[in-house]
Amino acid sequence: MILAVGPSWNPIIDLQQMWSFPFMVNAFRAGSIVAVLASVLGAFMVLRRQSFAGHTLSVIGFPGAAGAVLIGVSASYGYFAFCLAGALLIAASPRAGPGGYSEESAVTGAVQSFALACGFLFVALYKGFLNGINALLFGNFLGITTGQVALLGVVAAVSLTVLGMIGRPLAFASIDPDVASARQVPVRALSVAFLVLLATAVAAASQITGTLLVFALLVMPAATAQALTALPLRALALTVMIGLIVTWLGLSAAYYTPFPVGFFITSFAFTGYLAAQAVQHARPRWRAASPAASASTTGITR
């Protein structure tokens, strides 16, 4: 797409070649920030069973970005503004009670379809936008400015700091809301705070993967890591690693081919997910075959 030259298959030479272009350096910087942020928030999203809310937030980003382009500002602002507004809307919907997501999913679905409709209206209003809509839906890594990288960096630093402060009670409220509220954990406030953080991560990730493929970075690294280990901190570290690796591989692949970066990130993440599922299903048989191995895999402590 960029060059007629193919990869040399020597990672160092290829990286040097890609990074000789400032837009590629920015793409790697932005991609790395987004991968870390989305993976960490995704881990909590999977734990909280709020993937549908995450998906809706990503769809809401589409009219936001389209609207921002329509009025002539950076798509970044549109993503953040609409995703955060959507998070507050979902958070305001009544929860049926502990573990009751029924009401939330109905509200979430309604918000999602309305957002998509608005997005297509904005696209229709902005004529001659056909290339842009592809980038919004399926991701783009061209033309990320240094200013955008800085914005993503600040957003990620703030989000991860906040998450670091509420991480443990949030996990408690996610796994065990009844007991957590009996221990005076502010379950409802944490739920709102988490949706706002999730919206931030979604808005950031959408700029790389596009709004339809944001799940590649939200769900798949977390689901892959959780299939491999039940140790919480190890799972979190593994999630971030997987997120970074699929992003770097996806950016490199998109550089040397004419296909969108979102497709590659999704495909690599999905391959990893399938492999982890295979390992998880094969593991009980290995254990049955060698009891000593089972002692060594389950006896590890944090």
Partner 1 sequence: MNAHPLNPEASREPYHAASIPLPRAADRRLVEPVVTLRHAAAQRGGRQLWRALDLTVTAGEFVAVLGPNGVGKSTLVQVILGALPLAEGEVRVLGGPAGRAHERIGYLPQRRSFDSSLRVRGRDIVQLGLDGHRWGLPLPAWWPGGAARRAASARVGEVIDLVGASAYAERPVGELSGGEQQRLLIAQALAPAPELLLLDEPLDSLDLPNQAAVAALIARISRTQRVAVMMVAHDVNPILPHLDTVVYLAPGGSRIGPPGQVVTGPTLTQLFGTPIEVLTASDGRLVVIGQPDRSGVHVQRRSGPQP
Binding site for partner 1 (CB under 8 A): 47, 49, 96-100, 102, 164-169, 171-172, 175-176, 178-185, 226-227, 229-233, 235, 298-299, 301-302
Which CB, 97 or 143, lies closer to partner 1?
97
Degrees to nearest 5, angle at CA 247 with 20 and 109: 135
243 CB burial (10 A radius; 0-12, 13-18, 19+): buried
Radius of gyration of the chain (CA): 20
How near is the Cβ of 137 to partner 1 at its closest, in Å? 30
Nearer to partner 1, 3 or 175 (CB): 175
Give the nearer residue to partner 1 in terms of CB position, either 100 or 143: 100
DSSP string, 171-220: HHHHH-HHHHHHTT--HHHHHHHHHHHHHHHHHHHHHHH-STTTHHHHTH
Distance in Å, CB of 123 to partner 1, minimum: 38
Residue whose CB is less far from partner 1, 182 or 274: 182
CB nearer partner 1, residue 180 or residue 265 = 180
CB 161, min distance to partner 1, A: 11
User: 259 or 286: whose CB is closer to partner 1?
Assistant: 286
CB atoms under 10 Å from CB of 231, counted, come to 13
Q: What are phi and psi of 18, to 5 degrees?
A: -65, -40
Cβ partners under 8 Å of residue 223, min gap 6: 46, 273, 276
Residue 201 is encoded by which pair of tokens? 């991560």
Q: Which is nearer to partner 1, 143 or 164 (CB)?
A: 164
CA 27 from chain centre, in angstroms, equals 16
Beta bridge partners of 100: 97
| C-beta closer to partner 1: residue 133 or 225 | 225
CA–CA distance, 21 with 142 (Å, rounded to integer): 11
Asked whether the CA dihedral 128, 77, 200, 106 is positive or negative, the reply is negative
Residue 100 CB, shortest distance to partner 1, in Å, is: 5
Token pair in block for residue 238: 């593994």
At closest approach, how far in Å is the CB of 219 from partner 1?
13
For the bound state, the minimum distance from the C-beta of residue 106 to partner 1, rounded and expressed in Å, comes to 15
Minimal distance in Å, beta carbon 168 to partner 1? 5
265 contact partners, CB below 8 Å, separation of at least 6? 139, 208, 209, 213, 216, 217, 246, 247, 249, 250
The nearest distance, CB 165 to partner 1, in angstroms, is 6
Q: State the alpha helices, DSSP H only, in 75-145.
A: 75-92, 102-125, 130-138
